[in-house]
């Protein structure tokens, strides 16, 4: 009896040690995969990138569910592989060869949210192909981080700009038109042009179409037809999705619409101020422009909140002023963390309701038509 009691005590004492050892093994396995994810969370492509992506994928697949919950690194977390963002098989990476002599290369920042990639970027690409059937529409993303994420999680390979241009050269493209889906002439647009400069002599003709908002202009008061078209399109879509027949009807119901852009330190940040000017010129008094980065300063969330409060509106509809409804729309705008726009508006206690419309600009037909017009002008 004493031997049995002693054995029982020994086992009870050993169990926490065994559990700690098992936990240590689990954490070590999770840490190894986190390191693999961090290794591919980079903006530069190298000859080792594909192998590193495959290693991360295999590492994740080998983890148990419990180990996956422990994955945490500088950029790694369980959502890198585990978050469901829609069916990637519905997307077309548009990276086929046999392009022909005329190509329309659609360049986007990109998104790892599969549903948004189909409904926003994919919708623009399809509209461009339908409008210009005589050319081959192809895709490139400027964010290598996003390209790597999609390839690792979903097995879908999307060209970066250099790879897409190399593909065009190999296929004997003579006439190349680039259509950026970027909002403005910002840093991403500049980097695109810098990369393109290295290939300019590889084609008989190269043209870059205007981004969505057209020319930047000199100051906050400078607006143009493109900005007016975008202002009307996104406002009409938001009003309709909110269930109102008109913006005026929404205003009578004390509803303010807040469109959240990304923001930038680039000189093109004045474009956001111009969009607010455009809303004012259209007499859209209950429409406000904000930015995640708070640049320009008046577009920071806290300043937008004060502007909406000062105007007396009691209900708020948040919607992204972004081509895709990706990470910023889902997390920075509509997320449940305390620093999301949804949470910050709620925390004021000043509003009766705050709703989020997680929908990118790319799915709006009027926006697609604007890209078609820009591409057509570049082709002339």
Residues assigned a catalytic role: 262
Strand order in 315-320's β-sheet?
287-291, 255-261, 315-320, 353-356
Burial of 64 (0-12, 13-18, 19+ CB in 10 A): exposed
Angle at 343 (CA atoms; ends 342, 348), nearest 5 degrees: 105
Sign of CA dihedral 223, 224, 226, 230: positive
Backbone angles phi, psi at 334, to 5 degrees: -100, 5
- 108 three-state secondary structure: strand
- Give the integer Cα–Cα distance in Å for 55 and 60: 9
Strands laid side by side in the 102-108 sheet: 136-141, 102-108, 175-180, 205-208
Contact between 343 and 320 (Cβ < 8 Å) = no
Which residues make Cβ contacts (< 8 Å) with residue 22, sequence separation at least 6? none
Q: Could you give the C-alpha distances from 73 to 30, 145, 269, in angstroms and in order?
A: 9, 15, 32
Task: Name the helix (H) or strand (E) containing 180.
Answer: strand 175-180
Distances (CA, A) of 339 to 125, 131, 299, 304, 344: 34, 42, 16, 14, 6
How far from 85 is each of 42, 164, 254, 351, 352, CA to CA, in Å? 21, 25, 33, 30, 30
Query: Would the CA dihedral through 205, 371, 289, 284 be positive or negative?
Result: positive
Look at the chain and count its residues.
Answer: 380
DSSP state, 146? Answer: H
Residue 162, number of CB atoms within 10 A of its CB: 15
CA dist., res. 53 & res. 37, Å (int): 8
């Amino acid at each position: 009896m004493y031997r049995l009691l002693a054995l029982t005590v020994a086992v009870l004492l050993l169990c926490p040690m065994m559990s700690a050892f098992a936990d240590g093994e689990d954490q070590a396995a999770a840490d190894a995969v986190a390191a693999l994810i961090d290794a591919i969370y980079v903006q530069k492509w190298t000859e080792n990138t594909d192998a590193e992506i495959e290693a991360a994928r295999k590492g994740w697949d080998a983890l148990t569910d419990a180990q996956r919950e422990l994955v945490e690194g500088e950029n790694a977390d369980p959502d890198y592989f585990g978050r469901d963002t829609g069916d990637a098989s519905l997307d077309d990476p548009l990276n086929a060869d046999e392009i022909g002599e005329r190509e329309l290369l659609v360049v986007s920042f990109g998104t790892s949210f599969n549903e948004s990639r189909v409904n926003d970027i994919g919708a623009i690409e399809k509209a461009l192909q339908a409008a210009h059937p005589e050319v081959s529409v192809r895709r490139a993303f400027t964010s290598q981080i996003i390209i790597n994420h999609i390839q690792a999680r979903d097995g879908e390979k999307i060209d970066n700009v250099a790879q897409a241009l190399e593909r065009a050269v190999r296929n004997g493209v003579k006439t190349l038109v680039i259509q950026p889906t970027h909002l403005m002439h910002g840093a991403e647009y500049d980097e695109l042009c810098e990369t393109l400069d290295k290939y300019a002599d590889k084609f008989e003709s190269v043209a870059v179409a205007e981004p969505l908002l057209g020319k930047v202009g000199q100051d906050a008061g400078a607006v143009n037809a493109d900005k007016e078209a975008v202002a009307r399109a996104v406002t009409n879509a938001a009003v309709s999705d909110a269930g109102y027949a008109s913006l005026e009807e929404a205003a009578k119901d004390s509803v303010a619409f807040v469109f959240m852009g990304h923001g930038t330190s680039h000189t093109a940040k004045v474009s956001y101020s111009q969009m607010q000017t455009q809303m004012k010129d259209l007499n859209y008094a209950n429409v406000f422009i904000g930015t995640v980065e708070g640049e320009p300063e008046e577009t920071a969330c806290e300043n937008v909140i004060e502007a909406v409060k000062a105007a007396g509106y009691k209900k708020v509809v948040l919607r992204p002023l972004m081509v895709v409804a990706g990470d910023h729309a889902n997390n920075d705008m509509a997320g449940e963390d305390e620093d999301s726009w949804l949470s910050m508006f709620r925390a004021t206690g000043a509003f009766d309701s705050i709703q989020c419309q997680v929908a990118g600009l790319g799915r709006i037909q009027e926006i697609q038509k604007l890209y078609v017009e820009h591409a057509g002008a570049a082709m002339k």
